[in-house]
């Protein structure tokens, strides 16, 4: 791994930034802009395409993703920072594209502070969100830029195509191969109700299967395409009105890409006031309402009808067993 602090690009960069600041006069408006918005499904991203994506390493190994939200703050998932881990063992790499190649544009920072949400205690619980303060601010560039934080009343419509990015596993237990280019995948948003319905199909008692109020689902009912281990904490980016918003933070899921198990994300907008409370300078933005959400319950119906059969069979057996015993006693 190239643990090297990249050098600024100098004057050219400064001119570019001044131009961009000219286009976006308010510093706060300077979020959610990527140099290219070309998206393809389940493929490698282009350098600079997701400039808010960061890699968080623990003991020098990529552990989680995160999103840059200002010069000095990164948003990630609370489960990436277990209590027993010291913040000194983490590093944040910004502006990276291929994790295994040296990128002059990349910057590395240490972590000065971790603020994990106090509600988070285990997989599937609420509050899987954490704020990281970098030891030093970064200078924005074509490769390092913040994403917009959605305001509390933001609502992203069902079916909206958003993009999850990360350097995580490409299949369960299959790690991304060197040079580990950033992966991107387009995923449609799924309503919480439908997601709950899906997660109750063949639900295992030991796995979390309740989609809480502060969670958002995105992905495919048929499976095959999903976020995976190592993507945690990374962004689910949605383009609305020309700006990219951090709609969700990769949180959990059942065996990446399994049917009826879309990826589950922390709903960033539900933590707008928590974020603003801890870091006053972080101002969530009002997201323009582009369209009404259409019901998406059809995504679960067929599967549920098909999948409740074994449960009925099992219940039937439980009911028949005493009945059989009773009949046996009577005869």
Q: Is 286 an interacting residue with respect to ligand NAG (CB under 6 A)?
A: yes
Q: Exposed, middle or buried by CB within 10 Å (0-12, 13-18, 19+), for 173?
A: exposed
Q: Is 318 an interacting residue with respect to ligand NAG (CB under 6 A)?
A: no
Q: Examine the residue annotation and report whether 232 is marked as an active-site residue of this protein.
A: yes
For the CB of residue 226, give the shortest distance to ligand NAG in the complex, in Å: 29
For the CB of residue 129, give the shortest distance to ligand NAG in the complex, in Å: 21
138 or 154, CB closer to ligand NAG? 154
Q: Is 291 an interacting residue with respect to ligand NAG (CB under 6 A)?
A: no
How big, in percent rounded to 5, are the helix, strand and coil portions of the chain? Answer: 20, 25, 50
155 or 326, CB closer to ligand NAG? 155
For the CB of residue 154, give the shortest distance to ligand NAG in the complex, in Å: 7
Outline where DSSP puts E strands in 35-171: 43-44, 53-58, 61-68, 73-76, 90-94, 107-116, 130-134, 161-166
Among 41-49, 66-74, 96-104, 151-159, the segment contacting ligand NAG (CB under 6 A): 151-159
Which one from 62, 79, 117, 169 is the annotated catalytic residue?
Answer: 79
Q: Is 290 an interacting residue with respect to ligand NAG (CB under 6 A)?
A: no
Which one from 125, 191, 232, 237 is the annotated catalytic residue?
Answer: 232
Computed on alpha carbons and rounded to an integer, the radius of gyration of the chain in Å comes to: 22
Q: Is 273 an interacting residue with respect to ligand NAG (CB under 6 A)?
A: no
Q: Cα–Cα distance between 234 and 225 in angstroms, integer?
A: 16
* Other residues' Cβ atoms within 10 Å of the Cβ of residue 54: 31
16 or 160, CB closer to ligand NAG? 160
- What is the DSSP secondary structure assignment for residue 29, as one 8-state letter? G
Q: Is 153 an interacting residue with respect to ligand NAG (CB under 6 A)?
A: yes
Q: Examine the residue annotation and report whether 79 is marked as an active-site residue of this protein.
A: yes
For the CB of residue 158, give the shortest distance to ligand NAG in the complex, in Å: 15
Q: Which residue has the tokens 């350098």?
A: 47
Q: Cα–Cα distance between 224 and 259 in angstroms, integer?
A: 7
Q: Cα–Cα distance between 192 and 6 in angstroms, integer?
A: 42
For the CB of residue 244, give the shortest distance to ligand NAG in the complex, in Å: 18
Q: Is 101 an interacting residue with respect to ligand NAG (CB under 6 A)?
A: no
* Cβ contact 80:130 at 8 Å: yes
Phi, psi of 185, deg, nearest 5: -145, 130
Q: Is 289 an interacting residue with respect to ligand NAG (CB under 6 A)?
A: yes
Binding footprint of ligand NAG on the chain (CB under 6 A): 151, 153, 155, 286, 289
Which residues belong to the active site?
79, 128, 232
């Amino acid at each position: 791994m190239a643990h090297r602090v990249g050098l600024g690009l100098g004057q050219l960069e400064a001119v570019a930034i001044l131009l961009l600041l000219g286009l976006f006069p308010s510093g706060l408006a300077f979020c959610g802009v990527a140099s290219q918005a070309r998206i393809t499904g389940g493929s490698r991203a282009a350098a600079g395409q997701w400039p808010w994506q960061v890699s968080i390493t623990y003991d020098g190994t990529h552990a989680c993703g995160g999103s840059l939200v200002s010069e000095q703050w990164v948003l990630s998932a609370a489960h990436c920072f277990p209590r027993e881990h010291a913040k000194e063992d983490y590093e944040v790499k910004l502006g990276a594209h291929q994790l295994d190649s040296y990128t002059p544009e990349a910057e590395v920072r240490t972590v000065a502070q971790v603020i994990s949400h106090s509600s988070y205690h285990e997989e599937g619980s609420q509050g899987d969100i954490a704020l990281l303060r970098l030891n030093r601010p970064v200078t924005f560039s074509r490769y390092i830029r913040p994403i917009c934080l959605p305001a509390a009343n933001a609502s992203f419509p069902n079916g909206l195509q958003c993009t999850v990015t990360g350097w995580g596993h490409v299949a369960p237990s299959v790690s991304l191969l060197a040079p580990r280019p950033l992966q991107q995948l387009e995923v449609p948003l799924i309503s919480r109700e439908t997601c709950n319905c899906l997660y109750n199909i063949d639900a295992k008692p030991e796995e979390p299967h309740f989609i809480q109020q502060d969670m958002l689902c995105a992905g495919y009912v048929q499976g095959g395409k999903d976020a995976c281990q190592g993507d945690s904490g990374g962004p689910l980016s949605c383009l609305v009105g020309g700006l990219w918003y951090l709609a969700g933070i990769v949180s959990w899921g059942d065996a990446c890409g399994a049917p009826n198990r879309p990826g589950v994300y922390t709903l960033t907008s539900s933590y707008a006031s928590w974020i603003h409370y801890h870091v006053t300078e972080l101002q969530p933005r009002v997201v323009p309402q582009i369209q009404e959400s259409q019901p998406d319950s059809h995504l679960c119906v067929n599967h549920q009808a098909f999948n409740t059969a074994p449960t009925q069979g099992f219940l039937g057996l439980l009911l028949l067993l005493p009945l059989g015993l009773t009949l046996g006693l009577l005869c």
